[in-house]
């Protein structure tokens, strides 16, 4: 639950929400730049390592408890990390190698719809009218996106992007089901550290690093680690301490708008008419799910949101 703060703190939180949308949104095309030179496992290994070091340093400097309760709670954090960090990181990266970054961003932000559907059988949360409308809009948006691509090329990239959204949703629901408690920044740091270890171990097995890497790619990896993940998490937790979680979650809907726009500016991508329609439908679907009555928390906001 968000802490109660005065109007000045709420105004600061809204400014931070705008900054967070910019940081996360711009991360997508920057990640594509890193992927093209460093590869999936290289980018994730270095990016997550930088993020983990920066978050644990912040935990130490702010005097937070870096420990996770022993026993089954550690297992829950591990499983959540598999979905939230490893699954998300792998699927999102592979998707961008086979599909336009803007399309990956669009499909990825269907996550609140899938989280709401998973919450029905697992958490016993009823699928209300808003969720039903959101599901219909989401499916319509996916069909609009997939149909023209299926006519001309492989749909693998969009399938992987959907896997990214499903993995993110599964991690969110798992943490609610397991009732994982603790400092969210600490829980996030441990999950990102898990991702850093897994991708670092997989790197020499699945990929060889290039002998030469441009300064642009190095800066892209640094941005992804320090800002796109590290700073973004700090901003997110500062926001949810000052704003109701439902409002904070709804505010993150600006992220895909920034992601698509920055992909057009940085990568030179152009939205087709089906892309634009699909984007609008999926964004509307996510808004339907997140616009819940204040008595219910939005699924996306109950755990750390995402890495990029």
For the chain, the domains span 7-302
Cα distances (angstroms) measured from residue 9 to each of 12, 217, 237? 5, 37, 14
H or E stretch including 159? helix 156-177
Please report the pLDDT score of residue 28 as a whole number. 94
pTM summary value: 0.85
Q: How many residues does the chain have?
A: 308
The answer to whether the beta carbons of residues 123 and 173 sit under 8 Å apart is yes
The rounded distance, in Å, linking the Cα atoms of 195 and 84 is 9
Buried b / exposed e over 238-252, threshold 16 CB at 10 Å, is: bbbbbbbbbbbbbbb
User: Looking at residue 3, what is its pLDDT?
Assistant: 45
Q: Which residue has the tokens 């090329």?
A: 153
DSSP 211: S
Closest by CA position to 127, among listed 278, 245, 292, 280: 292
How many angstroms separate the CA atoms of 91 and 163, rounded? Answer: 6
CB 135, CB 118: distance < 8 Å: no
Residue 178 φ/ψ, nearest 5 degrees: -80, -10
Q: What is the pLDDT of residues 86-129, one digit of tens each?
A: 999 999 999 999 888 988 998 988 888 898 889 889 988 887 78
Greatest alpha-carbon span in the chain = 56
Mean pLDDT in consecutive groups of 10 residues from the start of the chain, 308 residues = 56 86 93 93 95 94 87 90 95 91 89 87 84 88 81 77 93 89 89 96 90 92 93 85 71 85 91 89 85 50 56
Cα–Cα dist 45/187, whole Å: 19
**Locus of tokens 């930088």:** 50
């Amino acid at each position: 639950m968000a802490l109660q703060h005065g109007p000045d703190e709420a105004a600061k939180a809204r400014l931070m929400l705008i900054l967070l949308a910019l940081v996360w949104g711009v991360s997508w095309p920057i990640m594509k730049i890193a992927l093209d030179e460093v590869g999936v496992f290289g980018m994730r290994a270095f990016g997550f390592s930088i993020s983990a070091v920066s978050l644990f340093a912040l935990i130490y400097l702010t005097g937070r408890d870096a420990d996770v309760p022993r026993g089954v709670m550690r297992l829950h954090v591990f499983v959540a990390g598999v979905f939230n960090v490893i699954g998300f990181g792998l699927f999102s990266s592979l998707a961008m190698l086979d599909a336009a970054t803007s399309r990956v961003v669009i499909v990825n932000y269907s996550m609140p719809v899938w989280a709401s559907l998973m919450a029905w059988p697992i958490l016993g949360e009823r699928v209300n009218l808003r969720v039903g409308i959101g599901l219909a809009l989401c499916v319509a948006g996916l069909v609009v996106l997939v149909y023209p691509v299926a006519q001309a090329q492989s749909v693998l990239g969009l399938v992987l992007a959907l896997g990214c959204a499903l993995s993110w949703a599964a991690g969110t629901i798992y943490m609610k089901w397991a009732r994982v408690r603790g400092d969210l920044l600490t829980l996030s740091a441990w999950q990102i550290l898990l991702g850093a270890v897994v991708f670092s171990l997989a790197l020499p097995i699945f990929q060889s690093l290039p002998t030469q890497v441009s300064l642009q790619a190095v800066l892209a990896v640094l941005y992804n680690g320090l800002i796109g993940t590290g700073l973004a998490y700090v901003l997110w937790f500062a926001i949810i301490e000052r704003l109701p979680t439902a409002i904070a979650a709804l505010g993150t809907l600006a992220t895909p708008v920034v992601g698509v726009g920055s992909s057009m500016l940085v990568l030179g991508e152009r939205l087709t008419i089906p892309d634009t329609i699909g984007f609008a439908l999926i964004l509307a679907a996510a808004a339907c799910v997140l616009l819940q009555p204040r008595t219910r928390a939005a699924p996306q906001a109950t755990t750390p949101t995402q890495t990029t």
